[in-house]
Amino acid sequence: MTVVIPAYNEADGVVPVLDRIFQAVESTLELLVVVDSAEDTTVPVVQGHPRFGDGLGLLVNTYGRGPAHAIRFGIDHASHDVVVVTMADGSDDPRQIDPLSRLVERGVVVAAASRYSPGGQQVGGPLLKGLISKSAGRSLGMLARVGTHDATNSFKAYNTQFIREVGIHSTSGFEIGLELTAKARRLRRPVAELSTIWLDRTIGDSNFDMVAWIPKYLRWYRFAFGPALTIEQVSQQAAKIAALNQRVTTRNGTSS
């Protein structure tokens, strides 16, 4: 499998995350850390890691700044049939990477690590952000039947061919997890989940800009509801959503 980690100035905390992933994952692993600039403080730390060049790679994203571009860039460079997206801040449990990957190998196109299913938990983090995320995840799971109670979580495994088939239209924030889950639902492709315990980062600050990104998330949220679509119809509607979201970014001068 390929594991993609978007990173922004994570020099202080990325090494333990990399170490835990290499210790936890038993499958053949390609681990790609993606940064926006060669000057990012994450770069020398990754390059100095003992596994650099031996399953660990570093990519400088050329699609544009921000996590959405970094994730898409990493996925486009993935060498394996399964790609897992996880964060550089240590909030995700690397022991679940293999089980999520196996769900994709068994036939689902999206396997989500769910904080809001039975046995899952979110420890720490801003209260309002957590409440909004939980409400969105549970309502999508129950009402839109997307296959997971945590569509907004970025910690997911994907069928690489599915992503290349439907494309990624998000250009800002961490919309991609919700976008691809919504696309899978409208195409009636299988989605599954495993419960997870998410721990708020203990080093550095989060780059999540809730006020700027909520309107964009809402469009993908609404897209998850509706009748089955063809690939062409999904691409057309997703392109419209992406254009609307880009207008919001341009009007507000919001950074990706």
Q: What is the pLDDT of residue 244?
A: 92
Mean pLDDT of 107-125: 94
Give the per-residue pLDDT at 210: 57
How far, rounded to the nearest angstrom, does the alpha carbon of residue 156 sit from its chain's CA centroid?
Answer: 6
Residue 20 CA to residue 27 CA, distance in Å, equals 14
Q: Residues 140-156: pLDDT tens digits?
A: 999 999 999 999 999 99
Is pLDDT above 70 for 254?
no
Whole-Å CA distances, 168 to 88, 98, 121, 211: 21, 24, 28, 22
pLDDT, the chain, mean = 92
Cβ contact 168:245 at 8 Å: no
Structural domains in the chain plus CATH codes: 2-251 (3.90.550.10)
pTM of the model: 0.91
- Which pLDDT belongs to residue 97? 98
Give pLDDT tens digits for 162-210.
Answer: 999 999 999 887 899 999 999 999 999 999 999 999 998 665 555 555 5
Q: Percentage of the chain with pLDDT > 70?
A: 91
pLDDT at 234 over 80: yes
Give pLDDT, residue 256: 47
The predicted pLDDT at position 17 comes to: 97
224 Cβ contact partners less than 8 Å away, ≥ 6 residues apart: 140, 144, 146, 151, 178, 181, 182, 185, 186
